[in-house]
């Protein structure tokens, strides 16, 4: 197994950025639990001790509440008055909408056509204005960029923002403090904020920890780029794990991912669905596709990580009823 994050890697954030983000979000968010389940250890096997970080216990049921609040609390007063706009498949938008509700900041969210209807309802429920446009996340992002120009809104990118990545880093900092015997983290990658935050936090708090990435087979642009050692774009993102459905690398996270990850695997939709079922059975917690991808990745890496203590992140539980039914019945 590769050693921890290389000190020569250029990171978009410092540990001081993570510390400052923790101070800003502390009045609004509590530390989430890191739990150990013996039955889950038995399923994973190979002597691996699995720790589950329960980001599904945050107010929006997803880690993106951290990212959004870190960004929103760092805005200048004039920026808060103008409001923010973002593209999302759901959790980033719900996080922004919730943070906007806490801080009194107007929020506009761009989602692709056919987006998860329950995530759309959650964003509207927190008071966001919803704009439906484009066939996927990347096309919705183009619409968000236009609204920055047309309406003077502040862009709250889900990945290409230092405050967003620092917010994600607060989660990894908690893991490092909660698990002094930690050997590795296996982290789902959509845009890469979780993984880059984990790299930055562990470099200071647990420099021997290795961070592994995992993507869905049908949306594997960053995985494929990592193995090719060059940036690639794919034509489509086909996975039910909508939080992972991206088609490209991102400027702010790509260099750190390329140089810092100890390994990178991709997993099929059936493997992600099985990971959801395993989490329900062993932890009695619900996970959405992206929330179970870390466990699916660990199952793919169990030979390499044999005998280690490994953290996976249950990053969100916002799965819609129709998809959950397909998962539980074994259709997926």
pLDDT of residue 7: 42
The reply to whether 116 and 237 lie within a common domain is no
CATH of the domain at 243: 3.40.50.1100
The residue count of the chain comes to 332
* pLDDT for res 289: 97
> How many structural domains comprise the chain?
2
Is 7 among the domain residues?
no
Pairing mode, if any, of strands 184-188 and 210-216? parallel
pLDDT (0 to 100) of residue 9: 61
- Classify residue 133 by burial, with Cβ atoms within 10 Å: 0-12, 13-18, 19+: middle
Which tokens is 102 given?
A: 């806490």
Predicted local distance difference test score (pLDDT) of residue 253 = 97
Please, what are the averages of pLDDT over each run of 10 residues along the chain (332 residues)? 48 97 97 98 98 97 97 97 93 95 97 88 95 88 95 94 98 98 98 97 97 97 97 92 91 97 98 98 98 98 98 96 95 94
Which of 126, 155, 184 represents a domain boundary (last residue)? 155
> pLDDT value at position 122?
92
260 shares its domain with 115:
no
Report the alpha-carbon distance of residue 110 to residue 8 in Å, rounded. Answer: 37
DSSP 78-109: HHHHH-EEEE-SSHHHHHHHHHHHHHT--EEE
Predicted pLDDT of residue 163 = 98
Nearest 5°: phi and psi at 77? -55, -40
**3-state class of 312 per DSSP?**
strand
* Domain region containing 37: 15-62+161-328
pLDDT for residue 30: 95
Is 212 in contact with 297 (CB distance < 8 Å)? yes
198, 323: one domain: yes
The per-residue pLDDT for 136 is 81
Both 68 and 113 in a single domain? yes
What confidence tens digit (pLDDT) does each residue in 20-32 have? 999 999 999 999 9
DSSP string across 145-198? HHHHHHH-PEE--SSS-HHHHHHHHHHHHHHHHH-TT--EEEEE-SSSHHHHHH
For 201-241, the pLDDT digits (tens) are 999 999 999 999 999 999 999 999 999 999 999 988 899 99
């Amino acid at each position: 197994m590769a050693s921890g994050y290389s000190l020569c890697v250029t990171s978009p954030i410092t540990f001081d950025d993570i510390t400052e983000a923790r101070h800003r979000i502390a009045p609004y968010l509590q530390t989430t639990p890191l739990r150990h389940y013996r039955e889950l250890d038995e399923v994973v096997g190979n002597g691996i001790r699995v720790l589950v970080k329960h980001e599904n216990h945050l107010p929006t049921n997803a880690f993106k509440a951290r990212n959004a609040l870190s960004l929103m609390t760092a805005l200048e007063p004039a920026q808060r008055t103008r409001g923010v706009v973002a593209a999302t498949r759901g959790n980033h938008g719900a996080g922004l909408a919730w943070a906007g509700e806490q801080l009194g900041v107007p929020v506009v969210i761009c989602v692709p056509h056919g987006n998860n209807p329950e995530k759309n309802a959650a964003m509207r429920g927190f008071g966001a204005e919803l704009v439906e446009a484009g066939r996927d996340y990347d096309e919705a992002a183009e619409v968000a960029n236009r609204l920055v120009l047309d309406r003077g809104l502040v862009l709250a990118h889900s990945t290409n923002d230092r405050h967003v990545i620092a917010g994600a880093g607060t989660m990894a900092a908690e893991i490092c403090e909660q698990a002094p015997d930690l050997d590795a983290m296996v982290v789902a990658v959509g845009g890469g904020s979780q993984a880059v935050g984990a790299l930055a936090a562990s470099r200071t708090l647990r420099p021997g920890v290795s961070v592994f990435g995992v993507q869905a087979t049908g949306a594997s642009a960053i995985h494929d780029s990592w193995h090719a050692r060059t940036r690639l774009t794919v034509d489509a993102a086909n996975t039910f794990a909508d939080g992972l459905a991206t088609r490209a690398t991102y400027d702010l996270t790509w260099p750190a991912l390329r140089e810092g990850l100890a390994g990178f695997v991709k997993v099929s939709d059936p493997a992600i669905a099985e990971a959801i079922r395993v989490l329900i059975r062993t932890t009695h917690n619900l996970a959405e596709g992206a929330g179970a991808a870390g466990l699916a990745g660990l199952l793919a890496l169990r030979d390499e990580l044999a005998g280690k203590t490994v953290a996976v992140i249950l990053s969100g539980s916002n799965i819609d009823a129709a998809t959950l039914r397909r998962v539980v019945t074994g259709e997926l």
